[in-house]
Structure 1
């Protein structure tokens, strides 16, 4: 699949970030198994840090569009090349990723590195596995 379109969706989302407190805009984009792309940006509020991460916003858009399984993730931050999703977002993403999902770490120019999602969050909390 074309990673450029996924990166551009994340980059465009980053440009819409509402980050007046941290001044740290982030964008994320998810591609489902069907090829649909869903993007999101971080959204802060005065009760910082109670805002939404870019990955959380993208997941919300995906769910509202009908859901699916995430095959690829791209994350970009204006001020940090190769930014990783935070721990909370790794768990949120783990609920929806395919077994072979790929995480694209970006800088503002494009994808810099691609890693299997399972390597950055190998032991996600799984309620079903504990039943």
Structure 2
């Protein structure tokens, strides 16, 4: 383990993204990166199984995507920067994703922000 990450698991809400996580989640990260292409979005919207098969996703990975388990995806090793691509496909804003990760509604989450009427 990277010595800079020692003890990181004790920090609430911290999910290290290192080479091991990157390799584990590579299929998912590539799948989400492809969501910037109209053809990939259309395939997923029309035939999820075919989209998952094309990406070689495991049953666990498919479940994470189907459930839009944002925090589960982050813990699995998905990069938030590619997860944003998929959030657009399912019509959720970044703020909505953040709220979900905290187990809150968007409205409850916005009340914790300094600009509660931001959306």
TM-score normalised per structure 2:
0.29
Higher strand share: 1
Q: Which has the larger radius of gyration?
A: 2
Greater RCO structure (CA 8 Å; 6+ sep): 2
- Normalised to the residue count of structure 1, the TM-score between the two structures is 0.28
